[in-house]
Amino acid sequence: MHENDIVTLDIEKFSNLGYGIAKVDGYVIFVEGACPGDIVSAKITKANKNFAQAKTLEVLTPSKNRVEPFCPMQKVCGACQLQFIDYDYQLELKRQIVEDAIRTIGGLDAEIPKPIASPEIKNYRHKIQYPVSETKVSKRILAGYYKPQTHEIVNLKHCPIQPEICDKVMDFIREHAFDFGISGFNEKKHSGDLRHVVIRSSADSGRLLVTLVVNATKTFERLNKFAKAIFDEFDEVSGVCVNFNSKKTNVILGKKSECIAGVDFIEEKLLEKTFKIGPNTFFQVNPKSAENIFKYVKDFIRKNYKKPLVLDAYAGISTFGICVSDTAEKVVTVEENPESCEQARESLKINKVKNVEIHNSDAAEFFKNEKRRFDLTIIDPPRKGCSEESLNEVFRLTKGHIVYVSCNPATLARDLKILITKGCRVESIQPFDMFCHTYHVENVAIIKVPQ
């Protein structure tokens, strides 16, 4: 098999990165834009010794699970790889992704249930991060998601998985940046002003927080005027912030933000608790689906514990901690981002919660120095999962259950294997669909620690 070969492929399975998998004489080919059950004509884009990558050119026989994508840009935009697959079958494919990871990486012979569906499969994404560039000649702003495997921006005028108001704000930015002398970023030359636009919107109130990520270390007059113009244009916008990121990096946000107009937060409601979300604080992209997860964890605690001492690690704005606080004697939360801890403290005041203790620290450092033992520990680390050292500490600190919330089935499986070797038992793994139409899947694993 060679690059540029055109081949007919029978798609048998689905990969953890959302590709169809075909085999030719045992040789594995990962096919973009293909669904199990399809027969496709595809072009080989890369051929290695052990496997190849290919792109679907034509669907010769469609799988019964193919549907017409509801977004006309689906084929060119890299955001919703799976939108051409029936939503219910997307869930089944995600179930298989989790089961495969848990069996092959985790060595656990577990049957994984179907993910709990997202309450909304359109307009569900409440965090928008558009990279920005500009056209060569007319210097008009381009903003949208990248084409798959490129840094080429698809100038998205409408995105049906986001609240509609976000399209309007982005249109205003596209139309008026030039008038205010704001240029789009040129990644190759590392020049220009505006690198990204990040919009957070509240599923509860519909209010927006707009953050302009700029290639600068401090704000400047044209930028201030532009930020104020965005704020004045939209009643729904609670605040416009600028974030400074002048580094040569793919990381979107720099460490420092400044509020230029309005306020530097929006409020979101989860399980009847109010949370403040700022420009630099982590918050789940799909609040309605996240609420299902918080409820699931809270119900587990309520059914199995009477007023436990709970540790919530990698806590963000202490979302788990505050949501489960009324079932617990006390919750201790640990998070490394100082702004998230600040917002969490504000949320304690708003919700009149008195039994949550917030620590701004690296989790591993906190674990090492902590003397208390907890009835239950919730860990919700970033995609890379936990270090073995941290898992050892969590094991030492926990008397009853570890609730492991994960957005990466592979690192979850790896970490479960480590916990199992220490005598832990995985009682259940429940996937949740937070990121509809993408291959991403969130999981909650309930793990019993031996007495």
Ligand X SMILES: C[S@@+](CC[C@H](N)C(=O)[O-])C[C@H]1O[C@@H](n2cnc3c(N)ncnc32)[C@H](O)[C@@H]1O
d(CA 227, CA 221): 10
Q: Based on CB atoms, which residue is closest to ligand X, 14 or 294?
A: 294
283 part of the interface to ligand X, by CB under 6 A: yes
CA distance 317 to 288: 17
Choice from 282, 300, 367, 395 touching ligand X (CB under 6 A): 282
Q: Tell which positions 336-365 bind ligand X, by CB under 6 A.
A: 336-337, 340, 362-363
Among 320, 374, 395, 432, binds ligand X (CB under 6 A): 320
Give the residue, chosen from 335, 393, 433, 442, that forms a contact with ligand X under the rule CB under 6 A.
335
C-alpha 226/C-alpha 353 separation (Å) is 39
- Residue 65 in the binding site for ligand X (CB under 6 A): no
For residues 211 and 243, the answer to whether their CB atoms sit within 8 Å is yes
Active-site choice (323, 407, 424, 436):
407
Give the shortest CB-108-to-ligand X separation in angstroms.
Answer: 22
Dist CA 242 CA 245 (whole Å) = 10
Long-range Cβ pairs for the range 353-356 (8 Å, 24+): 353/273, 353/322, 353/325, 355/325, 355/328, 355/329, 355/330, 355/331, 356/318, 356/321, 356/322, 356/325, 356/330, 356/331, 356/332
Closest residue to ligand X, judged by C-beta, is: 316
Which one, 134 or 312, has the nearer CB to ligand X? 312
For residue 241, the minimal CB distance to ligand X (Å) is 18
Six token digits for residue 396 = 């030492």
The answer to whether residue 284 forms part of the interface with ligand X (CB under 6 A) is: yes
CB of 279 to ligand X, least distance (A): 14
Closer to ligand X by CB, 38 or 335: give it.
335
Verify binding: residue 267, ligand X, rule CB under 6 A.
Answer: no
CB of 315 to ligand X, least distance (A): 5
- The identity of residue 44, as a single letter, is I
Stretch binding ligand X (CB under 6 A), from 33-41, 177-185, 298-306, 314-322: 314-322
Nearer to ligand X by Cβ, of 218 and 256: the residue is: 256
Question: Which CB sits closer to ligand X, 84 or 432?
Answer: 432
Question: Is residue 89 within the footprint of ligand X (CB under 6 A)?
Answer: no
Stretch that binds ligand X, among 97-105, 120-128, 144-152, 312-320 (CB under 6 A): 312-320
Long-range contacts from 293-297, C-beta under 8 angstroms, 24+ separation? 293/405, 293/432, 293/434, 293/442, 293/444, 294/270, 294/319, 294/320, 294/323, 294/324, 295/271, 296/116, 296/430, 296/432, 296/444, 297/323, 297/324, 297/378, 297/403, 297/405, 297/444
Q: Which two tokens stand for residue 398?
A: 């926990």
Whole-angstrom distance, CA of residue 386 vs CA of residue 258: 32
Judging by DSSP bridges, how do beta strands 20-24 and 27-32 pair with one another?
A: antiparallel
113-132 positions binding ligand X, by CB under 6 A: none
Query: Tokens for 386?
Result: 């936990």
Compute the distance between CA of residue 337 and CA of residue 362 in angstroms, rounded to an integer. 9
Respond yes or no: is residue 407 known to be catalytic: yes
**Binding ligand X by CB under 6 A: which of 83, 183, 319, 430?**
319
Stretch that binds ligand X, among 45-53, 160-168, 332-340, 436-444 (CB under 6 A): 332-340
- Residues 366-425 touching ligand X, rule: CB under 6 A, are 380, 382
> Of 45, 38, 35, 40, whose CA–CA distance to 2 is shortest?
45
Among 314, 395, 432, 435, binds ligand X (CB under 6 A): 314
Q: Which of 192, 278, 316, 385 binds ligand X (CB under 6 A)?
A: 316
By beta-carbon proximity to ligand X, the closer residue of 201 and 337 is 337
Point out the residues that are catalytic: 407
Residues binding ligand X (CB under 6 A) = 282-284, 314-316, 319-320, 334-337, 340, 362-363, 380, 382
